């Protein structure tokens, strides 16, 4: 009896594993098709200045319009894209589109920085920076309107080649931000030695600033340290007016989150930026 039960569980487990493997294979083949069939799109989330509420930048965020599953968020596929290496091709698509977006907005007088997320696997790829430069030149997009977001963990471990390439890009006018700060293990001495412009406080550091004195104290100390290494502070994932107010008071330079503006398709974003450039702050 016990044996039969054990066998039943094993069969169940095997079936589940098989289903997972099939699902992963399907996701991978769907991702390949997505690259070939241009199923990706970008949405844009505003970043505003903490001092006057003006829009200073936007972050480009990837979306996948899956023919059957509908709109997919990066959380459902980026990890698999990284595992399979497909992130390199997807990332190239993103970079090309970001370059053409910068140029298109420039042509209508919208001169905000556009930030783009770069995954570690892309930076491993030797051609990344060359392709990036080519894409910007071909589109006629000035480097000063480009910002690369690299994760804290990647920033801590990037090779001297990558640091060199980043330094060159910055010399052209582009900027570099460390994303998701507060989720990894950072060594500020190491961060200080990297060519960086901004550090983005992860949502986990922002979440409780309005409800917990401790969280506020920690955030304030972290902001001081980041300013101390010569970087601006961007707070991300701001969802309430109360968080927004605290983050302004404790010294964040740039604010981003649903309470200011959600990630939007291009037309909606441009409308938003023109209609209410200062909507974020009720000074
Ligand atoms: P991230 O770069 O840290 O981006 C911020 C994420 O938080 C975005 O999720 C954004 O939609 C979401 N967000 C913004 N404001 C709020 C808020 O007030 N509350 C909450 N709860 N969330 C907020 P999204 O678009 O799903 O992207 C998730 C992650 O996927 C990004 O995190 C980034 O790491 C990655 N990603 C997005 N686009 C790309 C891309 O083009 N290339 C690569 N390699 N990674 C990307
Ligand atoms: Mg980001
Ligand atoms: Mg982040
Ligand atoms: Mg992230």
pLDDT in tens, 210-221: 999 999 999 999
**pLDDT value, residue 247:** 98
**pLDDT at site 279:** 56
Q: Enter the ipTM.
A: 0.98
Kindly report whether the global pTM for this prediction surpasses the value 0.90. Answer: yes
Looking from the CA of residue 149, the nearest atom of ligand 1 is 2
What residue owns the CA closest to ligand 1's atom 34? 117
DSSP 73-88: -GGGTHHHHHHHSTHH
Q: Which ligand has an atom closest to residue 115 CA?
A: 2
In the chain, alpha helices (H): 2-36, 78-84, 87-107, 120-124, 128-139, 152-157, 160-171, 188-192, 203-206, 213-228, 241-249, 266-275
Cα–Cα separations (whole angstroms), residue 27 to 13, 23, 43, 78, 269: 21, 6, 22, 11, 30
pLDDT at position 208, please?
A: 98
Q: With a cut of 80, say whether residue 7 has pLDDT above it.
A: no
Instruction: Identify whether the C-beta of residue 247 lies closer than 8 Å to the C-beta of residue 218.
Output: no
Alpha carbon distance 87, 146 (integer Å) = 20
**40, 60, 81, 117: residue to mutate for ligand 1 pocket, most atoms within 8 A of CB:** 117
- How much is the pLDDT for 283? 45
User: pLDDT digits over 191-202, tens only?
Assistant: 888 999 999 999
pLDDT tens digit string along 67-97? 999 999 999 999 999 999 999 999 999 999 9
Instruction: Write down the pLDDT at residue 278.
Output: 65
Best of 74, 86, 94, 243 to mutate for ligand 1, by most ligand atoms within 8 A of CB?
Answer: 74
The residues lining ligand 1, judged by C-beta closer than 6 Å to any ligand atom, are 45, 61-62, 73-75, 78, 91, 94, 117-119, 149, 179-180, 203, 236-239, 257-258, 263
Q: How close is the Cα of 53 to the center of ligand 4, in Å?
A: 24
For the chain, the average pLDDT equals: 92
Cβ distance 205 to 232 under 8 Å? Answer: no
pLDDT value of residue 277: 59
- Nearest ligand 1 atom to alpha carbon 258: 18
Q: Is the predicted pLDDT of residue 143 greater than 80, yes or no?
A: yes
Q: Compute the distance from residue 3 Cα to the ligand 1 centre, in Å.
A: 48
Phi, psi of 282 (to 5 degrees): -100, 80
pLDDT tens readout for residues 25-68:
888 899 999 999 999 999 999 999 999 999 999 999 999 999 99
Q: Which ligand is nearest to the CA of 62?
A: 1
Q: What is each CA distance from 232 to 118, 175, 197, 247, in whole angstroms?
A: 19, 11, 6, 13
Ligand showing the shortest atom-to-Cα distance for residue 182: 3
């Amino acid at each position: 009896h016990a044996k039969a039960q054990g066998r039943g569980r094993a069969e169940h487990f095997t079936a589940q594993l098989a289903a997972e493997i099939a699902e992963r294979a399907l996701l991978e083949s769907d991702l390949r098709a997505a690259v070939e069939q241009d199923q990706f799109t970008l949405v844009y989330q505003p970043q505003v200045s903490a001092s006057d509420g003006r829009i200073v930048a936007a972050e480009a965020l990837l979306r996948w319009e899956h023919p059957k599953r509908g709109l997919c968020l990066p959380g459902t596929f980026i990890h698999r894209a990284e595992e399979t290496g497909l992130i390199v091709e997807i990332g190239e698509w993103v970079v090309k589109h970001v370059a053409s977006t910068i140029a298109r907005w420039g042509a209508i007088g919208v001169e905000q920085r556009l930030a783009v997320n770069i995954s570690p696997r892309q930076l491993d790829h030797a051609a990344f920076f060359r392709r990036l430069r080519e894409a910007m030149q071909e589109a006629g997009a000035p480097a000063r309107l480009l910002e690369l977001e690299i994760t804290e963990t990647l920033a801590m471990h990037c090779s001297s080649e990558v640091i060199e390439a980043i330094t060159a890009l910055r010399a052209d006018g582009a900027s570099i931000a460390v994303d998701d700060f507060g989720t990894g293990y950072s060594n500020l001495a190491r961060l200080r030695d990297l060519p960086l412009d901004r550090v983005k406080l992860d949502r986990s550091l922002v979440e409780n600033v309005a409800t917990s004195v401790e969280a506020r104290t920690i955030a304030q100390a972290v902001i001081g340290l980041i300013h101390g290494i010569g970087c601006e502070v961007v707070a991300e994932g701001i969802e309430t007016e109360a968080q927004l107010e605290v983050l302004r008071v404790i010294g964040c330079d740039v604010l981003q989150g649903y309470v200011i503006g959600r990630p939007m398709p291009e037309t909606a974003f441009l409308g938003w930026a023109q209609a209410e450039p200062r909507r974020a702050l009720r000074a």
